[in-house]
Amino acid sequence: MGSKIHQSTHKLAIAVVNDASIDCPKNEDKTPATIANSRPGITDVVKFNQCKLGIAYYLPFFVTLPTMKYQPPSLVDTFDRRIRYLRMSVTDRCDFRCQYCMTEEMRFLPRKSVLSAAEIVRLATLFVELGVEKIRLTGGEPLVRPDIVSIARDLSAIDGLNELVMTTNGSQLSTLAKPLVDAGVSRVNVSLDTLCSDQFSELSRTGNLTTVLAGIDAAIAAGFKRIRLNTVLLSGQNEAQIEPLINFALDRGIDIAFIEEMPMGHITQTDRELSLVPSSQVLDIVKSRFTLTPVAGSPNDGPARRYAVEGTGTELGVISPITHNFCDSCNRLRITPDGRLVLCLGHENSLDLRQMLRSDMDATSLKRAIVAALAYKPERHVFDQPDEPQVVRLMNVTGG
Ligand code: SAM
Ligand code: SF4
Q: What is the pTM of this model?
A: 0.82
Contacts of 116 (CB under 8 A, 6+ apart): none
Yes or no: say if 82 and 131 are a contact pair by the CB < 8 Å rule.
yes
Q: What percentage of the chain reaches a pLDDT higher than 70?
A: 75
Question: How confident is residue 140, by pLDDT bands cut at 50, 70 and 90?
Answer: very high
- Backbone dihedral angles phi then psi of residue 239, each to the nearest 5 degrees: -60, -35
pLDDT in tens, 204-243: 999 999 999 999 999 999 999 999 999 999 999 999 999 9
Nearest-CA residue for atom 8 of ligand 1: 399
Averaged pLDDT score across all residues of the chain: 81
Average pLDDT score over residue span 130-151: 97
CATH (one of 3.40.50.2300, 3.20.20.70, 1.10.3720.10, 3.40.190.10) for 85-329 = 3.20.20.70
Residue 262: is its pLDDT beyond 70? yes
In the prediction, which pLDDT does 297 show? 86
Any ligand 1 atom below 6 A from CB of 264: yes
Q: Give the number of the atom of ligand 2 that is nearest the alpha carbon of residue 395.
A: 3
Exposure b/e, 77-88, CB count within 10 A at least 16 = b: beeebebbbbbb
Q: Where are the domains of the chain?
A: 3-70+347-380, 85-329
For residue 165, the ligand closest to its alpha carbon is 1
Side-chain half-sphere exposure of 255, counting CA atoms within 13 A:
22
d(CA 132, CA 62): 23
- Cα(first)–Cα(last) distance of the chain, in Å? 30
Residue 257: is its pLDDT beyond 80? yes
Residue 352: is its pLDDT beyond 90? yes
Supply the DSSP string of 385-398, one letter for each residue.
Answer: -TTS--B-S-HHHH
- Report the 10 Å Cβ neighbour count for 198: 9
pLDDT in tens, 2-29: 332 222 233 333 233 323 322 222 333 3
In the prediction, which pLDDT does 164 show? 98
How far is the centre of ligand 1, averaged over its atoms, from the C-alpha of 27 (Å)? Answer: 41
Yes or no: say if 55 and 104 are a contact pair by the CB < 8 Å rule.
no
Yes or no: say if 145 and 151 are a contact pair by the CB < 8 Å rule.
yes
DSSP category for residue 232: E
Any ligand 2 atom below 6 A from CB of 101: yes
How far is the centre of ligand 1, averaged over its atoms, from the C-alpha of 177 (Å)? Answer: 19
Nearest-CA residue for atom 3 of ligand 2: 101
